[in-house]
Amino acid sequence: MTDTWLVSGGAGYIGAHVVRSLQAAGVDAVVIDDLSTGDARRVDVPFIQADIADCELVAETLRRHQITGVVHLAADKQVEESMREPLTYYRRNVVNLMQLLAAMARCDVGKLVFSSSAAVYGMVDSPQVDEDHPTRPINPYGETKLIGEWLIRDQARATGLRYAALRYFNVAGTASPELADAGRTNLIPMVFDALGRGEQPVIYGGQHPTPDGTCVRDFIHVQDLAAAHVAAIDALDEPGAGHVFNVGCGRGYSVREVIDMVAEVSGRSIEPRMGAARPGDPATVVADAERISKVLGWRPRHDLREMVSSAWHAQPRLLSAGQS
């Protein structure tokens, strides 16, 4: 019988790509999503519109669909909002995860892939971070992801749950236009947003200790990230599996380099405005992604140009404005 995985947050940007990759790998998926930021049009598998906090419904779904494991992406993810509304973030990212773990234990569902984040590292002071780098998140969002990892680890010790916590770096690009990132919090969508308003994008801080003075980040194509979930799921066939993996390319691009790539791909002339550095913004955050490549044999296949180009071609309003 084909395995069926529950994907919480599967109507979101990354979740929808994960569902596609599962399908391509011959794994069935069922999505639960409350559509707080997701879009039902991204989903073409059985879909339940619900808050993951509804434990009875989650348990019933686990049983009815004979779920093998859960990919848990459903979470709030805006750093600044998490600083204004920490209780909301602890409730939706931590309490909901506790309830999900309880429902999984009740229904004997013993495999979990968890969306963690490079935000668990906080102020990074080395050129690359491996998974053993100290975790000192600097905002409630990052804290909720780190607490999530602890909860899962401890539940695994107690129950034998098999898990992989994937610490995503900066996710970008799209597999197809209808799955594109509709949010405006990541760098590339922010640049598009500024262009769409007829404005120039802002670079926060030009005096960082990096080659061109702007922050350096590790960008990962969402299709590569989705493939990492499939590889992680395969690894959970191993009894006792409990993994924490960075998912990045292991290569940094500066904010200026990314904006230059947007200019090149879009054929627009872009003259970014310089803004003040944001407090608590580390100069460089780049993954050491050796562990996932050694353990899972996973490697990224897409480069920055493909990330920017796929995202750009999913912007019909900007594309048509460019043609007029």
Ligand X SMILES: NC(=O)c1ccc[n+]([C@@H]2O[C@H](COP(=O)([O-])OP(=O)(O)OC[C@H]3O[C@@H](n4cnc5c(N)ncnc54)[C@H](O)[C@@H]3O)[C@@H](O)[C@H]2O)c1
By C-beta, is 95 or 319 nearer to ligand X? 95
143 binds ligand X (CB under 6 A): no
307 binds ligand X (CB under 6 A): no
* Catalytic site positions: 141
Q: How many angstroms from the chain centroid is the CA of residue 55?
A: 24
61 binds ligand X (CB under 6 A): no
Report 173-202 residues binding ligand X (CB under 6 A). 183, 186
CB of residue 254 to ligand X, shortest distance in Å: 17
The correct pick among 52, 120, 129, 235 for binding ligand X (CB under 6 A) is 52
By C-beta, is 81 or 260 nearer to ligand X? 81
The strand pairing partners of 275, in sequence order, are 204
The correct pick among 36, 66, 88, 159 for binding ligand X (CB under 6 A) is 36
Report 197-236 residues binding ligand X (CB under 6 A). none
Q: How far apart are CA 45 and CA 282, in angstroms?
A: 39
- Read off φ and ψ for residue 114, nearest 5 degrees: -115, 135
What angle do the packed helices 255-266 and 187-196 form, to 10 degrees?
50
318 binds ligand X (CB under 6 A): no
Site string for ligand X, 12-31 (x = CB under 6 A): xxxx----------------
By C-beta, is 88 or 207 nearer to ligand X? 88
The correct pick among 92, 217, 256, 302 for binding ligand X (CB under 6 A) is 92
By C-beta, is 32 or 216 nearer to ligand X? 32
The CA distances from residue 154 to 69, 85, 127, 229, 242, in Å, are 18, 27, 31, 21, 11
CB of residue 308 to ligand X, shortest distance in Å: 15
By C-beta, is 27 or 52 nearer to ligand X? 52
The correct pick among 171, 285, 308, 314 for binding ligand X (CB under 6 A) is 171
DSSP string for residues in 67-126: --EEEE------HHHHHH-HHHHIIIIIIHHHHHHHHHHHTT--EEEEEEEGGGTBS--S
At CB < 8 A and 24+ separation, what contacts does 153-157 make? 153/242, 155/101, 155/105, 156/242
The correct pick among 6, 7, 9, 180 for binding ligand X (CB under 6 A) is 9
168 binds ligand X (CB under 6 A): yes
By C-beta, is 38 or 69 nearer to ligand X? 38
55 binds ligand X (CB under 6 A): no
The correct pick among 43, 73, 120, 203 for binding ligand X (CB under 6 A) is 73
At CB < 8 A and 24+ separation, what contacts does 195-202 make? 195/266, 195/268, 195/270, 195/318, 196/315, 196/317, 196/318, 196/321, 200/270, 200/271, 200/272, 200/273, 201/259, 201/270, 201/272, 201/273, 202/272, 202/273, 202/274, 202/275
Q: Helix, strand, or coil here: 255?
A: helix
Binding residues for ligand X (CB under 6 A): 8-9, 11-15, 32-38, 51-53, 73-75, 77, 92, 96, 115, 117, 168, 170-171, 183, 186
